[in-house]
Amino acid sequence: MMATSATIRDRLRPTVEQLIPARTGVAFRVDAGDYIEVVDVEGQQAADFWAFHENDLGEYLSAPHTRIGLMHLFPAPGEAFLSNHRRPIIRVVEDPVGVHDFLSAACDPWRYEELGHKGWHASCQENLELAMKRAGYGAVGTPQPFNIWTNFHLNPDGSFEIRAPESKAGDYVLLRAEMPAVIAISACPQDITLTCGGNPTDVLVRVLR
Ligand SMILES: [Zn+2]
């Protein structure tokens, strides 16, 4: 299986490529069957990922529904994230790094306040809101994202700790949309904890067919 899956990205052609500058977000639509490649440009960067059904933003990639559907913490290559209507919404195709978080909320203004920051700070929650608005979509809540490369290490005693991502420059994850979807991605602006190795950087996204 590995040998077959390793060739999928090579067989695809990018139709759109967009740089997500450090600390910002984007939203865009994809068709069912489109591949989405997310690239860590400089390494050790966390990217928060959301997916919503194009025709009903109230149906979205859902962490708790995915976990019970799979009976484990995170989809392996070939498995899909489920929506809150328990339907496959995004499939993991290739995942060479394999270390992500699927337990934690997106960073938001209150998180930075809690960490002692005074005044405005960019956040994944605000990046989602702004990106959806710019792309012409209505308001959405902030579902728990798929936190690509976020390395919240889970200990056997149930505690977890924030470690720097294991991703290096050029590392990617390849996903496939299972329904027409609106995708939002935030290059996480977390610069207080080790979530982004202490230094938020750019993320690149490609839509491939
Ligand atoms: Zn964040």
Per-residue 3-state assignment (H helix, E strand, C coil) for 126-151 = HHHHHHHHHCCCCCCCCCCCEEECCE
Nearest one of 35, 106, 102 to 65, comparing CA atoms:
102
The pLDDT score that the predictor gives to residue 7 is: 77
Q: How far is the CA of 6 from the centre of ligand 1 (A)?
A: 29
Q: How far is the CA of 11 from the centre of ligand 1 (A)?
A: 32
Name the residue type at position 54: E
The pLDDT score that the predictor gives to residue 209 is: 95
DSSP labels, the chain? -HHHHTTHHHH--EEEEEEE-TT-EEEEEE-TT-EEEEEESSBS--EEEEEEETTEEEEEB-HHHHHHHHTSSSPPTT-EEEBTTS-EEEEEEE-SS---B-SSPPP-HHHHHHTT--S----HHHHHHHHHHHTT------PPPEEET-EEEEPTTS-EEEE----BTT-EEEEEESSSEEEEEEE----SSSTTTTS---EEEEEE-
Q: How far is the CA of 48 from the centre of ligand 1 (A)?
A: 7
Q: How far is the CA of 129 from the centre of ligand 1 (A)?
A: 13
Q: How far is the CA of 1 from the centre of ligand 1 (A)?
A: 33
Q: What is the pLDDT of residues 110-140, one digit of tens each?
A: 999 999 999 999 999 999 999 999 999 988 9
The pLDDT score that the predictor gives to residue 6 is: 59
The pLDDT score that the predictor gives to residue 1 is: 45
The pLDDT score that the predictor gives to residue 5 is: 52
Range of the domain at 127: 2-208
Q: What is the pLDDT of residues 163-179, one digit of tens each?
A: 999 999 999 999 999 99
Q: How far is the CA of 127 from the centre of ligand 1 (A)?
A: 9
Q: How far is the CA of 2 from the centre of ligand 1 (A)?
A: 31
Residues of the chain with confidence (pLDDT) below 50 = 1-3
Q: How far is the CA of 73 from the centre of ligand 1 (A)?
A: 20
Q: How far is the CA of 3 from the centre of ligand 1 (A)?
A: 34
Dist. CA 135–CA 123, nearest whole Å: 18
Instruction: Name the domain count of the chain.
Output: 1
Q: How far is the CA of 8 from the centre of ligand 1 (A)?
A: 29
Backbone angles phi, psi at 174, to 5 degrees: -110, 125
